[in-house]
Structure 1
């Protein structure tokens, strides 16, 4: 039985995706590698370090009140077709 506390993101859903490339500090990459290892231990499914990044960004943006206040004042953003 796994008694490890669940991670904040929860199990990652399967979604349609688009590729995005970015650079990050080596220290952040190491943290992402550690997160992926803890995720695998917690949920029993191995993921690479990049897999949780979109979900982390989505969670961050969903909680950013300043972004939402300013976004309400700007034009709506449409997803690419």
Structure 2
């Protein structure tokens, strides 16, 4: 079968405590999103996508993740 087994898609709920300044900036970001795309999304809906985009764009993190994965399966670099 060409399609791999689908990953676990069970949502994981996490609670975080934010500094007031960061909470304000996230609300401002949600406002900017609404201005840009013409649809309002709650901060809680945007944050998972923001975090994923941040992690995907972090080159050093990706390199470290690949290295840790290779080491866990016994691949030497």
Q: Structure 1 length normalisation: TM-score?
A: 0.63
Deviation at 1:18, TM superposition (A): 3.5
Structure 1 stretches of at least 4 aligned residues deviating more than 3 Å after TM superposition: none
Which of the pair has the greater relative contact order for Cα pairs under 8 Å at 6+ separation? 1
Q: Structure 2 length normalisation: TM-score?
A: 0.65
How many pairs align? 62
Q: Which runs of 5+ in 1 are unaligned?
A: 1-15, 77-81
In our comparison, the structure showing a higher alpha carbon Rg is 2
| Structure whose residues are more often helix by fraction | 2
